[in-house]
Structure 1
Amino acid sequence: MGKNSRERHKAKRKVEEAARRRQAAAAAAAGDPLGLFGAPRIPSQRQIADELIDQAVYAQHTEDFAEAGRCRMLLVDGPGGAAGIQVVNRALFDKLLRDVENAWRRGWQPAELVRAARREHTARHARLLADVIAACMRRYPAATVDHRWSAQLTAMDARVWWEHDDHYVTTWGETTGLDRAAVIALMIDVRHLLGTMPPVEPVGPMPGDARSAGAPIPADIDQRMLDRIRALLAKAESTEFPEEADAFTAKAQELMARYRIDHALLVATTGGREQPVTRRVTIDNPYEMSKTLLLQVVAEANSCRAVWMKRFGFTTIVGYPTDLDAAELLFTSLLVQATRAMVRAEPGTDERGRSMIRSFRQSFLTSYASRIGERLQTATDEVGREMGTAQLLPVLAARDDAVRDAFEKQFPDMAQQAARINNQAGWASGRAAADQASLHGGKPVEHG
C-alpha cells in the first residue's frame, strides 16, 4: 500500500470513528448505552462527506495542515468512488449556502463578503463566493430584496451561470482551468473565512423582509439640497485652481451644516421619530489608516461616530441618516482633493538618495486629515453659533447622546490605534494642503 493510500485509509477510519462516537452518544441518550437493541449503523456517504468537510475546515483553523490536506484528498476522491464524488460536490455547495445565510444573519452584506474573500485570499475566492451568493438569492422574490442588496448583486455580476448545483465543482474547475483538488481547496478556504467573520451591526433588511425592502427616502429630506452639495463638491474636485476648490468646498460644508441643523429642528418640532443608524464605508490600500483618519474626523464634524475594522478594510459609521449623508459626501470629495494635492507634492529622497514616497504620502495624508478635522469642526461650530437658539441646543445635545449610546452599544470594547508620523516633510506638506482646502470662504486660516 502506497503512502497516499495509507493516509487516505487512516483519514477515512478517523472520520468513521467520529461518526460511531456520535451514534454511541445518541444511543446512550436514548437509554441504550451499550447499543444492544438497535442494528449497527454504517455512516452514509453524505454523513462521511459532511464530516470530512467540517474536519478539513477545523484542521485549517487550528493550522493542522497535514490533517487538512488528508481531508481534502479524501474529498477529491469521494467516499465510495464516483458516486461519492457527486455527494461531496452537493455537500460542499449546501454547506456554503448555509454559511452565506448565516453570515447575512450576523449582519454582513453580499458585497462585504465578496470583498473580504478578495482581501484575505484571491480574486478566484471572491468569484466563487459571488456565485454562492447568487445561488442563495434564488430563494427570494425580487420584491422582498432591499434595493441596496440588488445594486450590490448587479455591481458584482452575481448570477447563476451553471446548470446544476451538483455539478458546480466540476463546471467551475473546467471554466477556470483548475483541477478538482484546487477547487475544493478554494471552497474550504471560503467556508473557513465565513465561519471566522464576527457579527457586525446590520445596516439593512435581509432578503425576504418585504416590509423594509426598497424603502423610499423620507419626504422631509430635501433632495435638491443634496444635489446642490454634490454639484459643489464635484466642482471642487475638478478644478485645478486651489482658490476655486476652497470656495466650492466651503460653500458645500456650510450648506451641509445648515441642512443637518434644519432637519434636526424639523424632526423635533413635528414630533417625528428618528434613530441613529449604521453604515459601512470601504477603505482600500494604500494608506488605509490615514484615509480612515480622514473619514473619522469628517464623521465627528458631522455629529457621527466612526470606527475602523482593519481586517476587513472598512469603517463603520453611526449617526442620523442626514448626518451620514453629509459625512460620506464630504469624505469622498476631500479624499479626491487630498490625493490630487499629494500626487503633486514632491516627496524628496533620504540621505542615501532613496525615494521616500511611501513614508511621505502616509505622513501627508495623516497630517491632512488632522488639519481638516480642526477646520471642519470650526466651520460647523460657526454655523451652530450663527443659527443658535434656545430650541437648538437641547435638540442637538439629545441627538449627540443618542449617537454616542448607539455607538457604545455596538463597540463596548473599542481599542485605539495611533497613526505613525515618520516623515516631517510629508507632515508639513499635508498640513499646507489642508490649509489650501480652507472651509472658511476660501480665505486661508492663520496658524496659531
Structure 2
Amino acid sequence: MSTAPTPQTTVERALATALYARDSGARDRSVETALDTAASLLAADPGADAELARRGEEFVRRAWERGWQPADVVRIVRRDLGEPQLRIAAELIRTESRRYPEATLPARWAGQLAALGPDSVPPWQAPDRFSYATAALELYRLLLRLPAVEPVGPVPGESPATAAPRSVHEPKALTRIRALLAKAEATDYPEEAEALSAKAQELAARHSIDAAALDAGGEGRTVPGACRIGVEPPYETAKAILLDAVAEANRCRAVWNSAYDFSTVVGYAADLDAVELLYTSLLVQGTAAMTRAEASQRAGGRKRTKTFRQSFLMAYASRVGERLTAAAEAVSGAAPAGLLPVLATREVAVGARTDELFPRTTATRVRGVGDEAGWTEGRAAADAARVHPERRGVRGPGPGQGGG
C-alpha cells in the first residue's frame, strides 16, 4: 500500500525534474516539458507551498553567498524573465532578509530592499496554481545558475571587520546634493540645470575631502568599499562611459560587467554615495536632452534613428567627462596642502582594492560614432548639464572614429 507524498517529497521531485533539465541555449522542448511536469506536481499539492517558498529562500541565500545583492537579482530577473517571476523574487528577498538583525545587513541593502516596494499577498495564494508554480520554477532555475561575482560587501548576518561605520541618518551634504539634483532634473532651462548640477558636484567634492580629513584624524583608517550600479540597455556602452567619468571624478574606479548589466564602483563610502546620486541625475538629464534634441531634428524634417541616439549619448558622456576633469583639478588645487598626501593615499588604496577585486580586467575600444548631428547635439547637452572631477578608464571615440 503506497503512502501519500509529503510536501518535502513533492517539492524535491518537482525541483529535481525542473531545475536540472538540460537547456541547449534557446528554450527547447525538453525544458518546457520538465517545467510543465514539475509545475503539475506542485499545483496538485497545496500542502507543498510553504516548502516551495522555503526552498526559494535557500536559493536566494546562495545568491548572496556568491556575491549577488538584492538589486542585482531584481535586475537580472527583470531582464531574463518577467513580472510574475519578479514578484516572486521580491517576496523571497524580503522574507529571507528578515532573518537577520537590521544592523547585520550590508551597507546599501536598506535602500535596495525599500526599492522592492511594499509587501504583497504571497504569490502562491494566487488562484492559478499551475502558472505560479511554473513562474517559481523558472525563477529557481535562474537563481541556481547565477555564477559567482566579485563580492561588494559581506553576506547578510556576517559583520565586516574592516567596513567603515555608517550612520542610520543620511549626511546633510547628501541631502542637499539630492535636492539640488532633483531641481536640475525638473527644470526646463539648461543654464539652471547646469548651475544646480555644478553646485551639487561642489558639495560632493567638499563632502569627500571632509570625510578624508575626518578619517585621517581618527584612530583607525577606513578602507575602500564597493557598490554596483545598473548599466542597462539600450545604449549601455555610452552609459558605462558616463558612469566611469562620474566615478573617476569622485575618486572611485568603475569596472563594467556587460554580461550582467552593471558596473562595480570601488571607492570610499562618501564618494560611492556621490557617484550613485550624480550618475543617476546626469543620466536622467542626458536622456531628457536627447529626447528634446531628437524631436527638434524630426521637426526639421530629418529622420533620426538609433544611430542618432547612440551618438548623442556617447558625445554627452565624453563631454561630461571633460568637464568633470576640469572641475576635479580645481577642487584638488583648493584642498589644504596637508591633506594632499591623505587624498593620494586614498587614491592608491582604491586602485589596489580594484586590482584585488578584478585582477584580470580588459580595456576595450568602443565602436565609432556614426551620426555627426547626434554627436554635436550630445556635446551641447553635456555643456548644459554638468557635474565635476577627473576621468580615466573607458574612453569613447569622436565622430567618425572606428573601434576594434
TM-score (norm 2): 0.79
SS of the residue 1:275 aligns to: coil
Deviations 1:84-115 (A, max 9, x none): x3576565434322111111222322333233
Measure the CA separation in 1 of the matches of 2:174 and 2:203: 9
Superposition deviation, residue 300 in structure 1:
0.8
Whichever of the two has the greater Rg, that structure is 1
Measure the CA separation in 2 of the matches of 1:142 and 1:255: 30
404, 407, 415: which one aligns with 2:354: 407
Question: AA paired with 1:292?
Answer: A
Q: Which residue of 2 aligns with 1:186?
A: 135
1:110/1:435 CA distance change after superposition, 3 Å = closer
Q: Which residue of 1 aligns with 2:333?
A: 385
Superposition deviation, residue 425 in structure 1:
0.9
Map residues 272-421 of structure 1 onto 2, 5 A cutoff: 272-346=220-294, 348=297, 355-387=303-335, 389=337, 391-420=338-367, 421=369
Map residues 9-158 of structure 1 onto 2, 5 A cutoff: 46=8, 50-63=12-25, 65-78=28-41, 85=45, 89=49, 92-137=52-97, 139-140=99-100, 145=105, 148-157=108-117
Q: Which residue of 2 aligns with 1:159?
A: 119
8 A Cα contact 2:39 2:134, kept in partner: no
Deviations 1:390-429 (A, max 9, x none): x334322221111111112222222344443221110111
1:357/1:235 CA distance change after superposition, 3 Å = same
Measure the CA separation in 2 of the matches of 1:77 and 1:119: 26
Question: What is the count of residue pairs matched by the alignment?
Answer: 378
Question: AA paired with 1:198?
Answer: P
* Structure with the largest fraction of helix: 1
Deviations 1:53-72 (A, max 9, x none): 23422224445844434433
Measure the CA separation in 2 of the matches of 1:290 and 1:133: 31
1:129/1:234 CA distance change after superposition, 3 Å = closer
Q: Which has the higher contact order (CA 8 A, sep 6+)?
A: 2
Superposition deviation, residue 439 in structure 1:
6.2
8 A Cα contact 1:260 1:323, kept in partner: yes
Superposition deviation, residue 361 in structure 1:
1.7
191, 214, 217: which one aligns with 1:243: 191
1:315/1:65 CA distance change after superposition, 3 Å = same
8 A Cα contact 1:55 1:71, kept in partner: yes
1:227/1:125 CA distance change after superposition, 3 Å = closer
8 A Cα contact 1:119 1:312, kept in partner: no
Question: AA paired with 1:252?
Answer: A
219, 224, 233: which one aligns with 2:181: 233
Measure the CA separation in 1 of the matches of 2:90 and 2:178: 32
- Structure 2 unaligned spans of 5+: 389-404
- Structure 1 unaligned spans of 5+: 1-41, 163-167, 441-448
Q: Which residue of 1 aligns with 2:399?
A: none
8 A Cα contact 2:194 2:383, kept in partner: no
Deviations 1:308-340 (A, max 9, x none): 233433222110112222222322332233223
SS of the residue 2:255 aligns to: strand
8 A Cα contact 2:107 2:153, kept in partner: no
Superposition deviation, residue 185 in structure 1:
2.6
Measure the CA separation in 1 of the matches of 2:281 and 2:69: 25
1:336/1:129 CA distance change after superposition, 3 Å = closer
Question: AA paired with 1:287?
Answer: Y
Kindly report the root-mean-square deviation, in angstroms, between the aligned alpha carbons of the 2 structures: 3.6
8 A Cα contact 2:68 2:149, kept in partner: yes
Question: AA paired with 1:217?
Answer: S
TM-score (norm 1): 0.72
Superposition deviation, residue 119 in structure 1:
1.3
| Match status 1:217 vs 2:179 | no
1:358/1:216 CA distance change after superposition, 3 Å = same
Measure the CA separation in 2 of the matches of 1:410 and 1:147: 18
